[in-house]
Chain A
Amino acid sequence: AQSVSQHNHHVILSEAASLELGCNYSYGGTVNLFWYVQYPGQHLQLLLKYFSGDPLVKGIKGFEAEFIKSKFSFNLRKPSVQWSDTAEYFCAVNPLTYSGGGADGLTFGKGTHLIIQP
């Protein structure tokens, strides 16, 4: 079964700092990759996704992520964070196979709690 690792469980940054959140997955085949954000007390919202094509994908609110197949990584970046980016960030993987894949649902990492200090 696939797994997803998010390296940092808690990250604290000052406003205007640059952000990079690491995500690695273990699965030998092709995957769809996602980053979701959960603001305090709210539901998960999609930040961005990668299915195919340009490995550098841009999402909402100035976020981007780069898929590096050789490293099984899909790191999330933002050049300048804001206080409103304080939230829980989840990386998720959905393998592209119908032999039990997809039907397993998304496999999530354990999340990174990001706190932005004003």
Chain B
Amino acid sequence: DTAVSQTPKYLVTQMGNDKSIKCEQNLGHDTMYWYKQDSKKFLKIMFSYNNKELIINETVPNRFSPKSPDKAHLNLHINSLELGDSAVYFCASSQDLLETQYFGPGTRLLVL
């Protein structure tokens, strides 16, 4: 009965590789998000996706691309991984842009 789920939980990969992280929510929410948590635990929004409208944080490199096959899924694809991409990535969802956000368990990405 997990509300927001992410796969994989851990991801270890080499620099230059391309990887994807999947997110699914079963809450019937209209809005989904990706956040990045750095080594100092600082959380920052990367993307929000609401009613097929994608809002991108301008500081996110274009190597990162979210893909939403349907309302319940928002996957994150990362091209040409760099060392600085190592972080924990959290998916979240909410009923709309202003309501409470519910977070997934996170994906810990380590780029070697």
Q: How large is the interface on A (under 10, 10 to 19, 20 to 34, 35 or more residues)?
A: 20 to 34
Of residues B57, B101, B104, which shows the largest number of chain A Cβ atoms within 10 Å of its Cβ? B101
Q: How far is the CA of A104 from the CA of B57 in the complex (A)?
A: 7
B90 near A43: Cβ-Cβ < 8 Å: yes
Smallest beta-carbon distance B32→chain A, Å: 11
Task: Give A41-79 interface residues, CB cut-off 8 Å to B.
Answer: 42-46, 49
Contact of A46 with B41 in the complex, beta carbons under 8 Å: no
Chain B residues positioned under 8 Å from A104 (CB to CB):
45, 48, 55, 57
Interface size class of B (residues with CB under 8 A): 20 to 34
Contact A90 to B98, CB < 8 A, known contacts A44-B103, A105-B33: no
Contacts of A102 in B (CB 8 A): 96-98
* Closest-CB distance, A112 to chain B (whole angstroms): 10
Task: Report chain A residues within 8 Å CB of B42.
Answer: 108, 110-111
Minimum distance in angstroms from A50 CB to a CB of chain B: 11
With contact pairs A44-B90, A103-B55 given, residues A96 and B48 touching in the complex (Cβ less than 8 Å)? no
A96-115 CB contact bits vs B (8 Å, 1 = yes)?
10100111111110110100
How far is it, in angstroms, between the C-alpha of A88 and the C-alpha of B104 when the chains are bound?
16
Chain B residues within CB distance 8 Å of chain A: 33, 35, 40-45, 48, 50, 53, 55, 57, 90, 92, 96-98, 100-106
Q: A44-B90, A103-B53 are in contact. List 4 more A-B contacts (CB 8 A).
A: A34-B100, A102-B97, A103-B55, A105-B48
**Taking beta carbons and an 8 Å cutoff, which residues of A are in contact with B?**
32, 34, 36, 38, 42-46, 49, 88, 90, 94, 96, 98, 101-108, 110-111, 113
